[in-house]
Chains A and B, each alone.
Chain A
Amino acid sequence: MSAEVFSVFYQFADVFAFLILSAAGLAIVFGMMGVINMAHGEFIMCGAYVTVGLVNLGVPLAIAQILAALTAGLIGVAVEFLIVRRFYKRPLDSLLATWGLSLIVTQSMLLIVGSAVRGIGTPEGSFAIGGYTFSTYRLVLFGCAVAVLGGLYIVFMKTRFGVIARATMQNAAMAKALGARTGRIYSISFGIGTGLAGLCGALYAPTMTLIPTMGATFVVESFVTVVIGGANVLLGTAPAAVFLAIIRMALNASYGQIIGQIGMLVAVILIIRVLPEGLSSVLVRRGR
């Protein structure tokens, strides 16, 4: 009996981790600046490639993953400085600009690196409960997803940066008048967002085939989570991920991955009919 219960939890944890890790970076950028980074998938791809490249050079996996996330974060800061910064007053144009960037990056990677790179294989390690065997690495991913949420909570709720960032989010002009350097806050937030995208790629790199178009595997999940999560990462993205993970897990188990994905999309389309501002609007209203 307990084995079945754990199995259900395991499947839930697997989907939940995927949703949180792929959406967290996108949600932070959207929450802070109202910008959807269409090159989000490419930052994920960047994290995965850096990880695999470093591991193939002999760097231990965990360190390679951290370095990959940092790389993606730094590239993100550069992209913010060169491109995204100009579009804070034109959010739709920022969508187009980052989409253009995404096309350039994916297709250049196809030209330069070619279609496939030697992967590194999922870390060994499994454990058995009852008659079932579970992969340890999937639980590590779940742990990372929870750690990301915890880390974001601490950064945004308990640090000085977090206070200024939340002030900027609520009223950028007022925060600026009070002496906050909103431009710097934006570029750091964008860096955190793309760094988390890089982390997502780094963490999933061992589990998937590396191709330049791999970012597309993550974008649907990250988009729909952010769409129903709304602008607040902690109060929106996390509950949205729990909700979508339950739907997805149930459908995956009985009908397979693709029906799970279709079901998730249909659920999202039904939800936006009722809650156009996302789950966080409801939760925030309750909280007041």
Chain B
Amino acid sequence: MFKLLEGPQTLGRGKIFWSCFLAVLAGALTYPLFADSYDVGNFAYFLIWIFMALGLCLMWGYGGMLSFGQTLFFGIAGYGYGVLAINMGGGTATIAALALSVVLAMVAAGILGYFMIWGGINGIFFGIVTLSATLVLAFFLGQTAGPEWHIGPARLNGFNGMKGMDPLAVGDFYIEGSALYYVMIALIVIVYLALRMLVNSGIGNVIVATRENPQRAEMLGYDVRKYQLLTFVIGSGLAGLSGALYTSWGQFITPSSIGLPAAAMPIVWVAFSGRSDLTATLVGSFLLLFGFQTITVYSQQAALVLMGALLLATVMLAPQGFVLGIGKLAADWWSGRRPRDDGAVMAEAGRLQSEES
């Protein structure tokens, strides 16, 4: 099973890659020992969004489905966590609230995905239907300010957002600060490795085959719609995980984290990083989030202008993504001194060619 951690669908293989992986992981694990708790909290905040980016990478880069609805499912699970945590009370029940809210997002994705995928919607329309649904949810939540909008004791509170839910907790112990940070790191490692195994498995190969040519995959005997729906549900579920963690992290959520311009952010991260590889997305999204947060302190608008410019620059200059491109250059430079085995290079070239067509 662990053989699937490496394969044709993911970059990075061999001892050098995994040593780097372990070194980064060790660095991340020891980070709270050196940094003050404020920085650790900030770091945990960047990590929240990584799930959403990895989910989009799976759907868009591997499945060829450009979903603009990551914040839709982020919002469903984020609000879902809030409502459930308030209704079920704090303590260990919050863990159940987290799990249930992610399931809720996946069910919503299943329903929306069924209508779109079985209806044969793809390409551009897949994007704009998911974006329409996202904006409608944001508008709807924006006008729930009145006291009549409540689920149990949980008030939705319109544009000001919902607050007052407990953070994740086990018994009396609140998972905050460095505890939350370690939970995030663990979740990211699990999700990242699980996704690597998924895309290198048989299912992953069908997902990629569907991206390359849905008809051909269908002729080979696969019901591509089921695989597409599975991809969409997993990808959107990861957005849901981000949403639930976000609500737990800050104990509030507002409609502005669903609507525009929030909906564009996952697209920018993944496009800039390189959608066709999980590792590139992981690294690139983290760097972008870090940069974005640094600039936001001075001016949020300026940060968003920069994100827009990055998106435009990416599609005009490096459609495959900047981080992926730089990573490939570095790998080529490395292999210039140590010749790579030919099979891998051939597979690589074939993959790039088919993506460009």
Contact = CB atoms under 8 A, between A and B. Distances in A.
A220 B137 CA distance: 11
Contacts of A7: none
B136 A213 contact: no
A47 B288 CA distance: 33
A104 B309 CA distance: 6
A272 B115 contact: yes
Nearest to A82: B316
Interface stretch (B51-59, B175-183, B296-304): B296-304
Contacts of B312: 83, 97, 100-101, 104
A151 to B, nearest CB: 26
A16 to B, nearest CB: 19
B260 interface: yes
B315 A261 contact: no
B315 A273 contact: no
Interface stretch (A138-146, A157-165, A262-270): A262-270
Nearest to B299: A111
A176 interface: no
B123 A92 contact: yes
Contact of B308 (A93, A101, A265): A101
Contacts of A276: 119-121
B118 A273 contact: yes
Nearest to B134: A220
B310 interface: yes
Interface residues of B, number: 45
A92 B116 contact: no
A107 B121 contact: no
A224 to B, nearest CB: 6
| Interface magnitude class on chain A | 35 or more
A95 B127 contact: yes
A274 B128 contact: no
A219 B319 contact: no
Contact of B112 (A93, A97, A104, A269): A269
Contacts of B314: 96, 100
A36 B124 contact: yes
A184 interface: no
A92 B120 CA distance: 17
A144 B260 CA distance: 29
B66 A103 contact: no
Given A97-B312, A100-B312, A107 B261 contact: yes
A50 to B, nearest CB: 21
A19 B258 CA distance: 24
Interface in B116-160: 116, 118-121, 123-125, 127-129, 131-133, 135-136, 139-140, 143
Interface of A: 34, 36, 83, 86-87, 90-93, 95-97, 99-104, 106-108, 110-111, 213, 216, 219-220, 223-224, 226-227, 258, 261-262, 265, 268-270, 272-274, 276
Interface of B: 66, 112, 115-116, 118-121, 123-125, 127-129, 131-133, 135-136, 139-140, 143, 259-261, 264, 267-268, 271, 299, 301-302, 304-305, 307-316, 319
8 contacts: A34-B124, A91-B124, A99-B311, A101-B312, A216-B135, A219-B132, A220-B135, A268-B132
3 residue pairs, one from A and one from B, having the closest CB atoms:
A103-B308, A100-B311, A100-B312
